Amino acid sequence: MKKNTNWEYAPAPEAAKIAKIAKRYDHFINGKWTPSQSGKTFRTINPATGRKLSEVADGNDADVDAAVKAARAAYEGLWGKMSGRERGKYIYRIARLMQERAREFSIIETLDGGKPIRESRDIDVPLAANHFFYTAGWADKLEYAFPNRNPSALGVAGQIIPWNFPLLMAAWKIAPALATGNTVVLKPAETTPLTALKLAEIIADSGLPEGVVNIVTGAGTTGAAIVNHPDVNKVAFTGSTSVGKFIQQTIANTDKRVTLELGGKAANIILEDAAIDQAVEGIVNGIYFNQGHVCCAGSRLFIQESVYEEVIWKLKSRMRTLVVGDPLDKNTDIGAINSKEQLKTIQKYIQLGQEQGGDMYQPTCKLPSAGNWCPPTLFTHVTQSSVIAQEEIFGPVLAAQSFRTVPEVISKANNTPYGLSAGVWCDKGARLFQLTTQLDAGVVWGNTFNQFDPASPFGGFKESGFGREGGLHGLAAYLEM
């Protein structure tokens, strides 16, 4: 089908000027901006242009130690003794401040990480604020949330987050820790530290007692320093399965508590009675949302044979309408790939998919000359053993297969080391539940995909990790009972 060039969108760029990014950011330790003890910094860049946004302190063991000491002192002092009702007030205040500065947050999230402004504005930032609102409400009701269990805080939580939802992941970690009376040392990802540092500004403005939340920036070694610190009571990690396994080994002979939110390879299953147009939207949302940098992305598509041709035809024509490019443009559907390294990884998988006999489809897109870009990609003629159907790519690459019967698709969908999420598209409720109860996945969406809510627990099975974030389960992970 030829693209109708008369229907191009006019550019609608968000005004980036209102976002204030300092030339340099230090660590946020004990309520103060503190340079790294080594004096070292690293650059964070805009992946859509390749240009530097800011210099950020590079944390070492000594910086992490100072942050943990501050968190311990705050826990033993004011915060540990404060009533849930008082704690809740601070958390509500953080949520409201985040709403007030939502526009600035969404612009910085998009500049630093490459995701479309539409997503950071409508999903990341509002959801992050909602997590603070939700947990704030529980802060004075923990006795009711967990009756007869005597819930009490664990102490100092060491938290490490990835680059795909930088602010949202910080909220998922910090909000429940505060509501349950713990103090925090958090490390954002190396490529996307800015919104966590902006969050530190809000935390300072909220008057939260010094040392309750500490943000230390740096690379993997800074994360390792948090995991290894003897005075950390709980490690909360979101990231890759390989680093998660390493963390599990590191803390094996300690009494540290741990939750691991790791990778995924979700099945998105289209049954023959599904509403096809709606399912195609769900497929697109499932894999191309946030450039496919989504742990629960619907990266394996299973289509029942009788509707296979129709779904693929409609999917390809929908893919041709996706706008790839400037993440600050409000029309953009697919922004920049987060880093050069991630782009190389995605390209390696696209190459492998072709070498292993997959049929690749990419619509023609005009890609900007600078920055990291990957058009939406679909593979058909994929086999179950193909690498692109087995391994997490973490990019806009979808591997489609067909199936005939429900038992067949259940066994195919479960045939993966991961177990984070899945989606089922089907007209009959009973059939939908039959499938969802047999899928090994922490979250299963029915006739929708990528829906998140602070009240709903999220987490995985198998190599997708253990522990839950969100809901009461997410609070329980920060409590001794």
Task: Report helix, strand or coil for 213.
Answer: strand
**478/152 Cα distance (integer angstroms):** 9
Is 114 a binding residue for ligand NAP by CB under 6 A? The answer is no
- The DSSP string of 379-408 is EES--TTSHHHHS---SSEEEEEEESSHHH
Closest distance to Mg ion from the beta carbon of 45 (Å): 5
Tokens of 6: 């008369």
Candidate residues 136, 170, 295, 389; the one interacting with ligand NAP per rule CB under 6 A: 295
Is 467 a binding residue for ligand NAP by CB under 6 A? The answer is no
Is 189 a binding residue for ligand NAP by CB under 6 A? The answer is yes
Please report, in angstroms and rounded to a whole number, the separation of the first and last CA atoms in the chain: 61
| Closest C-alpha to 307, from 270, 356, 277 | 270
**91/96 Cα distance (integer angstroms):** 9
Is 220 a binding residue for ligand NAP by CB under 6 A? The answer is yes
Candidate residues 135, 164, 291, 402; the one interacting with ligand NAP per rule CB under 6 A: 164
| Closest C-alpha to 112, from 168, 35, 59, 164 | 164
| Residue placing its CB nearer to ligand NAP in the complex, 181 or 263 | 263
Is 238 a binding residue for ligand NAP by CB under 6 A? The answer is yes
**319/272 Cα distance (integer angstroms):** 21
The residues near 133 (Cβ < 8 Å, ≥ 6 apart) are: 92, 95, 454
Q: Which stretch binds ligand NAP (CB under 6 A): 71-79, 118-126, 128-136, 155-163?
A: 155-163
Q: Measured between alpha carbons, how far is residue 371 from residues 107, 325, 367 in Å? A: 17, 10, 9
Binding site for Mg ion (CB under 5 A): 44, 112, 191
Q: Measured between alpha carbons, how far is residue 476 from residues 138, 266, 440 in Å? A: 11, 26, 23
Candidate residues 223, 286, 325, 353; the one interacting with ligand NAP per rule CB under 6 A: 223
Closest distance to Mg ion from the beta carbon of 189 (Å): 9
Q: Which stretch binds ligand NAP (CB under 6 A): 200-208, 240-248, 358-366, 396-404?
A: 240-248
Place of tokens 């992050």: 128
Q: Which stretch binds ligand NAP (CB under 6 A): 35-43, 183-191, 303-311, 346-354?
A: 183-191
**262/245 Cα distance (integer angstroms):** 9
Residue 325 carries which DSSP code?
S
| Residue placing its CB nearer to ligand NAP in the complex, 154 or 189 | 189
| Residue placing its CB nearer to Mg ion in the complex, 191 or 416 | 191
Identify what 92 binds: ligand NAP, Mg ion, none; CB under 5 to 8 Å per kind: none
Is 170 a binding residue for ligand NAP by CB under 6 A? The answer is no
* b (16+ CB within 10 A) / e for 218-230: beeebbbbbbbbe
How many binding residues for ligand NAP (CB under 6 A)? 30
Candidate residues 157, 262, 267, 479; the one interacting with ligand NAP per rule CB under 6 A: 262
Q: Which stretch binds ligand NAP (CB under 6 A): 7-15, 123-131, 257-265, 314-322?
A: 257-265
| Residue placing its CB nearer to ligand NAP in the complex, 156 or 247 | 247
Q: Which of residues 377-396 bind ligand NAP (CB under 6 A)?
A: 392, 394
* C-alpha 264 chain-centroid distance: 12
Candidate residues 153, 160, 167, 171; the one interacting with ligand NAP per rule CB under 6 A: 160
**115/476 Cα distance (integer angstroms):** 32
Is 478 a binding residue for ligand NAP by CB under 6 A? The answer is no
The residues near 252 (Cβ < 8 Å, ≥ 6 apart) are: none
Catalytic site residues? Answer: 261, 295
In the complex, the residues that contact ligand NAP under the rule CB under 6 A are 160-164, 187, 189-190, 219-220, 223-224, 227, 238-240, 243, 246-247, 261-264, 295, 392, 394, 420, 460, 464-465
